[in-house]
Every structure is written in structure tokens, then in C-alpha cells.
Amino acid sequence: MEPIELDDREDEAVLSGSQTVNKEYMDEPLIDKSSDIENDDDNQTTNGDQDENDNKSNVKVIKNKHLNKVFDKIKSIDKEDLKFDHSKYLKSIIYGGMDGLVSIFVSIAVVASGDAKITVLLVIVLSKLIAGAISMGMGDYLGTQADVDYAKGERKREAWELEYYPEGEKKEMVEIYTSRGVPYDVASEVVEILSKNPKGFIDIMMVEELGITPDAETEVAWKNGMVNFLSFLVFGIIPLLPYLFFMIIAASAGLPNKENIGTFITVIILSVVTLFGMGVFKAKETDTVWWKNGISTVLFGCLGALIGFLTVEILKLIFPDIDLSG
């Protein structure tokens, strides 16, 4: 290939053009670029501050949004839901309270009958109070957990039977309704409709066949145990209060630290009043006649205390060497 030769006129045009450009470039006055750099830095700083402020504003908006959601949720909570559901734990409250009050009263009566020092009485009865509260709490916990486990096991069994033997389960439900006077065709239609919702049908079967309510599976065992434990402690310490006050007064006044009949009578009166109050509380929660519940609770409590005290006295007659004087 032969080299390409440029026309002389083209070369002159190119050279003259470059010279013109160079001349124009050389004739152009010099511009101070430092001010532009400083302006750029200022603009970047301003933009950075603006971005930081924007980020802070966005964070603040997000925080306010979350706080508003939290406040809305708090406002939407029904005040009734925040209340302690006494009726749900009524059994544990009465059970623990009655046992605590009666058993501690009997312990006080037995030890006091031996003319023991109040310090000896307090040591024995306080030991009984703590041990009894723990025992009752653990017993309630284990019993409630057993009920929960039983309910869950029965639900699994009913679910299995409904899945693999649905006609048999439907037949059982029809028999239950017909035994209560519902016509066969109506009972069959109702059962057929109910069986279309397996979970709801299992709930109904557990209630109708086994007498297990759906909420039996949701009971929290440790809460029942804790309520029973605290109820035993609260009601059980009430008969001890007169002796605690007497011991404080006796220590400050230099009186003999011996049991006296006046303190024991105070214990009897305080225990009877507490039993009556427990009955009134139960009546309020169950919407029954308050004075009947109060009197019946006092009678049952006194009967239990009397039997316990007589048992100890009989044992003392059988074993006369027993010394409770401390």
C-alpha cells in the first residue's frame, strides 16, 4: 500500500488552524481556579450538612411514627384487660387461703396449749407457713399442668379420630343431641354443618363428650401455683399477727415472753373475721348471697380447725410424754 500524501493546501489549513487555536489560547486571560475550588468545598460542606440534617429529620420522623403506633396500641387496650382476673384464679385463691388460715391457726392453737414461749411458737408456725405455702403452690402447679396435658392429649385423640373415622365421630355427636331431645334429622343436619369446620367441631366434641372446655389447654400452670402460694402466705400469716405485735410490745416493755389467753382470743376473732371476709369475696366473684357464703366459710374453717386440734389432743392423750412447752 502506498503512503497517503496530504495536499499542501490541506497541510497549510491544518497548521494555520492549530496556530489560530494556540494563539487564541495564549491570548485568553488566566482565571484564578482557587476560588472555584473553595466554592466547591463550601458547596460540598453545605450539601453534607444538609444531608445530615435531612437524615436526622428522617430518623426523627420514623421515631415519632413508631411512638405514635405504640401510643395508639396503648390507647386501644381495654382497661378491663389490665385487671387481675380474680374469677380465673378463684379456686387457687380460696383453696390456698383456706388451707393457710386453718392450718396455721391449728398450729398456733396446738403450740399455745403447751404454754410455750412466743419465740418458740413463731419458729414452729413460721416454718409451717413457708413449707405449707411452697407445698400448696407446687401442688396447684402440678395439678393444673396435669389438667392441661390431659386436655391436649384428648384433643389429639379427637383430631385423629375425626381424620380417620369421621362418620363414627359424627354418629357419637348425633347420639348426644338426640339423647337431649333433639330430633334425629335436625341433629344429623347440625352435626353435618359443624363438621365442616374441623377445629370448631373438635372443640364441641371435647365439651359435649368429655366436658373439657377449650380454655383448659391455655391455662398457665405456674400462675395458678404462684396464686396459691401467695394466697397461703397472705391468709396464713394473719393468725400470726397478734403474736408478732405482742412480741414487739413485750420486748420493748420488758414483759414476759410467754403465751397469754388474751392474745390467743385475738387470734380466734381475727381468724373468724378473715374467714367471713373470704366468703364474702367468693360471693362477690360468683354473684351469690354474701352472708350465706361468709357463714358457710366460717363454719367449714372452724370445723377443720376443730378436727385438727382434737386430733392433736387425742394424740397427746395416747402419748402423754409429748411436750409442747418449748
pLDDT of 165 above 50: yes
pLDDT at 12: 45
Q: What is the pLDDT of residues 265-277, one digit of tens each?
A: 999 999 999 999 9
| pLDDT tens digit sequence for 28-52 | 444 444 455 455 555 555 555 565 6
Q: Give the range among 7-16, 146-155, 242-251 with minimum mean pLDDT.
A: 7-16
Confidence band, pLDDT 50/70/90 cuts, at residue 250: confident
Buried b (16+ CB within 10 A) or exposed e, 215-235: ebbeeebeebbbbbbbbbbbb
pLDDT at 94 over 80: yes
The average confidence (pLDDT) of the chain is 81
Q: What is the pLDDT of residue 266?
A: 92
Q: Which residues pair with 117 in a beta bridge?
A: 258
Distances (CA, A) of 43 to 29, 46, 47, 48: 26, 5, 6, 8
In this prediction, residue 189 has a pLDDT band, given cuts at 50, 70 and 90, of: very high
| pLDDT value of position 313 | 86
